[in-house]
A and B are shown apart, each in its own frame.
Chain A
Amino acid sequence: MHSRLSYKAQLRIFLLPYVVGSLILVIIPALATVGVAFTEYNAIQPPQWAGLANFVKLFNSPLARISLRSTVIFLLVAIPLRMTGALLLALLLQSRRRFFTFHRAAVYLPTIIPEVAYAIIWLWIFNPLYGPLNWFLGLFGVNDIAWLTDPATAQAAIIFMSLFTIGEGFIVMLVGLQNIPLAYYESAEVDGATNWQAFWRITFPLILPWILLLSFRDLIIAMQGTFTPAFVMTYGGPNYATTYAPLLIYELAFDFFDFGMAAAALIVIYLVLVMLIAGVLNIVSGWGDNA
């Protein structure tokens, strides 16, 4: 094949679908959403400038306030637990002993089960009358828990089921652990350090950057991941306790056709995420000073 295009021009063409496609399908829609947050827009008539009216409406809406609170509680509880779980599982299952490849595959598997199927399976597990979870708890004398029909336990249930879909974090932690040179542990052993000391002095500081990077990505993924369970299992109920931000945005935009308010909700949520990230970074840099 004789090409008339220079090598570099060909490379640019290779990039075209990715760059232009991402612009059309992701970046332009995301920017347009930011713009429309300051307008009155119902997707049919052209947008009308509305200043901060959407934000005022949002903060005066009890539903939006409940949704924001549920989302923040979900993130503050679920993300630390997901990160701890992924790290503990990676520490336990990084071994090269027999069958451990199989154990690692088992831990990864729930992550790739289709979300709707996964939600329906958990709907059954949480069934207060016949579900396996209450049967299991019953063995320990724990009385029937309402799970998805009580606001407090519904929130706990959604967090609980999210703890099994940590495959991505698990794999990244495995790689992070593999990247720690064995020589560090060998010299710690020579110095008579216990496993516990070796973990806090060697493993944890070296894996921390990976944990941080993962938690930032997990904020976005875990939040987005609430949509399907909330939609399929509870449709935001009971008493809107599981109307997490993505479902709120969906309802505002596609049930009420209030694109402006939906976009404003999105901006507020994104600012909350940025604040959470800044908060985490602040805490972690504090640790560095004390050490």
Chain B
Amino acid sequence: MRNIRIGTHHAVAIAITVLFLLPLFWAAGTSLRTVGAPPPNTVTWWPRDAQWGNYGFIFELVPMARYLRNSLLVVALAVPITLLTASLAGFAMSQLSNKAQRRLLIFSVLLLMIPGASVWLFRFQILSWLGLLDTIWALVAPAFAASSPLFVLLYYWNFRRVPQETFEAARLDGASAVMSWRRIALPLARGTTIGVVILTFVLYWSDFVSPVLYIFDTAWYTLPVGLQILKQFDATNWPLLMAGAVIMTVPVIVLFIVLQRFFLSDFSVANLFDRG
């Protein structure tokens, strides 16, 4: 009886996993089909003559290499800047008086409740006044404000669990706030940092809205816009469209697999979200 229940549990879990991974598997299989061949009327799971050349072909069809370079540049700037601004703000928040902490907490929660669409109109104006439209900084700008209040809060919750005497002692020894942040706080927040790296990477790598709103010069187009251009180019060329989708998705999956051990294992989930 107990064995049957455990067996059923495993079977249901496997079915769920298959269901959630199926779209990706279909995309990968379709991306390797022969371009121009009539689509089969049954589902091919994996084409027998896999056309790996499809991946090279989309680089010739649209300036994929440039989109890729721009996307990588955005991520390479935005992730470290976000780590810096979010961890500094989270650290400062955890060290201030209770009253200041509460104020900043309310500020952050209010920020979380502002829908993205409500800043489109005037962020466009502000970027325009600052002369940042059509530059990479239009895409990276939110990183200077920690990208998301959530990241500041994750660091704040993490640092608040560190016994305050640790920082107090360092301070009495003459350590500056910068030193406490770098030598004591950051090494204690590795789990949070990994979580923030994944989430920030995904945020900027996937960002479709900002380039659509703030970038008009094709020289600064990023991959998400590139994929949309590929789609407008030939909306029914499924193998090539899927190849584009796979190219965009693979880096995220690789990063996720490399870091998920820290991210989703039983303990780090608690580390990330436990307000302790």
Chain A interface, DSSP helix/strand/loop, else mixed: helix
Residues of A within 8 A of B152 (CB): 18
Residues of A within 8 A of B4 (CB): none
Does B3 belong to the interface (CB within 8 Å)?
no
Q: Which of A95-150 contact B (CB under 8 A)?
A: 95-97, 99-110, 112-118, 120-125, 127, 129-130, 132, 135-136
Q: How far is the CA of A5 from the CA of B115 in the complex (A)?
A: 37
Does A57 belong to the interface (CB within 8 Å)?
no
Known: A15-B92, A18-B145. A7 touches B176 (CB 8 A): yes
Does B164 belong to the interface (CB within 8 Å)?
no
Q: Give the most central of A12, A28, A106, A175: most B CB within 10 Å.
A: A106
Residue from the list B89, B177, B178, B181 in contact with A18, Cβ < 8 A? B89
Residues of A within 8 A of B126 (CB): 24-25, 28-29
**Nearest Cβ distance between residue B228 and chain A, in whole angstroms?**
6
Q: Which of A267-287 contact B (CB under 8 A)?
A: 269-270, 273
Q: How far is the CA of A107 from the CA of B179 in the complex (A)?
A: 40
Contact between B17 and A124, CB atoms less than 8 A apart: no
Q: How far is the CA of A122 from the CA of B177 in the complex (A)?
A: 49
Residues of B within 8 A of A92 (CB): 9, 12-13, 16
Does A164 belong to the interface (CB within 8 Å)?
yes
Contact between A106 and B95, CB atoms less than 8 A apart: no
Chain A: interface residue count, which band?
35 or more
Does B36 belong to the interface (CB within 8 Å)?
no
Does A3 belong to the interface (CB within 8 Å)?
yes
Q: Which of B151-189 contact A (CB under 8 A)?
A: 152, 171, 176-179, 181
Does A203 belong to the interface (CB within 8 Å)?
no
**Nearest Cβ distance between residue B30 and chain A, in whole angstroms?**
6
Q: How far is the CA of A70 from the CA of B117 in the complex (A)?
A: 17
Q: How far is the CA of A224 from the CA of B208 in the complex (A)?
A: 12
Residue from the list B145, B181, B227, B264 in contact with A104, Cβ < 8 A? B264
**Nearest Cβ distance between residue A175 and chain B, in whole angstroms?**
5
Residues of A within 8 A of B14 (CB): 103
**Nearest Cβ distance between residue A216 and chain B, in whole angstroms?**
8
Total contacting residues, chain B, CB less than 8 A: 94
Contact between B209 and A227, CB atoms less than 8 A apart: yes
Chain B interface, DSSP helix/strand/loop, else mixed: helix
Contact string against A for B residues 254-276, beta-carbon threshold 8 Å, 1 for contact and 0 otherwise: 00110010001110011011100
Q: Give the most central of A95, A104, A116, A216: most B CB within 10 Å.
A: A116
Does A158 belong to the interface (CB within 8 Å)?
no
Contact between A121 and B122, CB atoms less than 8 A apart: no
Contact between A97 and B9, CB atoms less than 8 A apart: yes
Known: A22-B149, A121-B23. A116 touches B248 (CB 8 A): yes
Residues of B within 8 A of A28 (CB): 122, 126
Does A193 belong to the interface (CB within 8 Å)?
no
Contact between B245 and A106, CB atoms less than 8 A apart: no
Known: A93-B13, A135-B42. A11 touches B95 (CB 8 A): yes
Q: How far is the CA of A174 from the CA of B267 in the complex (A)?
A: 11
Does A59 belong to the interface (CB within 8 Å)?
no
Contact between B20 and A109, CB atoms less than 8 A apart: yes
Residues of A within 8 A of B116 (CB): 224, 246
Q: How far is the CA of A43 from the CA of B21 in the complex (A)?
A: 44
Contact between A19 and B107, CB atoms less than 8 A apart: yes
Q: How far is the CA of A179 from the CA of B125 in the complex (A)?
A: 45
Contact between B27 and A249, CB atoms less than 8 A apart: no
Contact between A25 and B142, CB atoms less than 8 A apart: yes
Residues of A within 8 A of B96 (CB): 8, 11
Does B98 belong to the interface (CB within 8 Å)?
no
Residue from the list A99, A113, A136, A164 in contact with B249, Cβ < 8 A? A113
Contact between B17 and A107, CB atoms less than 8 A apart: yes
**Nearest Cβ distance between residue A102 and chain B, in whole angstroms?**
7
Residues of B within 8 A of A113 (CB): 24, 206, 249, 252
Contact between A250 and B178, CB atoms less than 8 A apart: no
Contact string against A for B residues 239-250, beta-carbon threshold 8 Å, 1 for contact and 0 otherwise: 001101110110
Q: How far is the CA of A102 from the CA of B120 in the complex (A)?
A: 38
Contact between A124 and B241, CB atoms less than 8 A apart: yes
Q: Give the most central of A22, A25, A245: most B CB within 10 Å.
A: A22
**Nearest Cβ distance between residue A84 and chain B, in whole angstroms?**
14
